[in-house]
Amino acid sequence: MTDSEFESAVEKIRAGDSSGLREIYDAYGDRIYRIFLGKVHHHQDAEDLTSDFFLKLWECAGSHRSGQGHRSWLTTIARNMAIDHLRKSVKMMPVEDAEEAGLPPDTDTPETSVLGNMQAAELLSSLSEDEQEIVRLHVAAELTFREIAEVLQKPLGTVAWKYRNAIGKLQKRAKEGRLV
């Protein structure tokens, strides 16, 4: 969705036309869901949060300023909602419990998979929180490094560097066939 398409959708929302919200949902619903899933590690919670997100967007779309990068704006809202949710839920989910909590089932990866039987999600959990978030925002939410830098309020070079480092670590660990 381009900035102008987003602006046009926002105009519809301001006018009370839910088709504007639907357009944004079609374009970004899955990415928003992935951001939540990456944070809360729970399918049902991620769905609830996605629903809340679009209800909130319906209320606050008018506060979006023209010229403001809409993708990083949406991501910032989603990220803040996820952080609030985690604060409220008090407990953080241990990695071992992730499967029970609704993480993707432990299905076999294709034979061609270079990671073999190791779950990429499990590998990701071996990265630092910072690195995980950057990888998720880049790979799952499809944000550019510049947009991630805006969302996380970190220098662009640092974001790019951390991402490359994280991928390098995953590459090394996958080669070794072990988690560190």
Q: Is 101 in the site for other proteins (CB under 8 A)?
A: no
Helix (H, G, I), strand (E, B) or coil at 33: helix
The smaller minimum CB distance to other proteins, of residues 85 and 136, is found at 136
Residues 69-88 that bind other proteins (CB under 8 A): none
Binding segment toward other proteins, per CB under 8 A, in 69-77, 78-86, 87-95, 156-164? 156-164
The smaller minimum CB distance to other proteins, of residues 60 and 95, is found at 60
CA neighbor of 38 nearest in space, from 69, 90, 70, 81: 81
H-helix or E-strand spanning residue 10:
helix 3-14
CA neighbor of 78 nearest in space, from 55, 108, 109: 55
Classify burial at 139, counting beta carbons within 10 Å of its beta carbon; exposed 0-12, middle 13-18, buried 19 or more: middle
The contact mask relative to other proteins for 126-145 (x = CB under 8 A, - = no) is ---------xx--xx-----
Residues 40, 85: contact at Cβ < 8 Å? yes
Tell me which of 3, 5, 8, 66 binds other proteins, using CB under 8 A: 66
The CB density around residue 173, as the number of other CB atoms within 10 Å, is: 17
Give the binding site for other proteins (CB under 8 A). Answer: 13-14, 16, 18, 21-22, 25, 29-30, 33-34, 37-38, 43, 47, 50-51, 54-55, 58-66, 104, 109, 113-115, 119-121, 124, 135-136, 139-140, 155, 157-158, 160-161, 164-165, 167-168, 170-171, 174-175
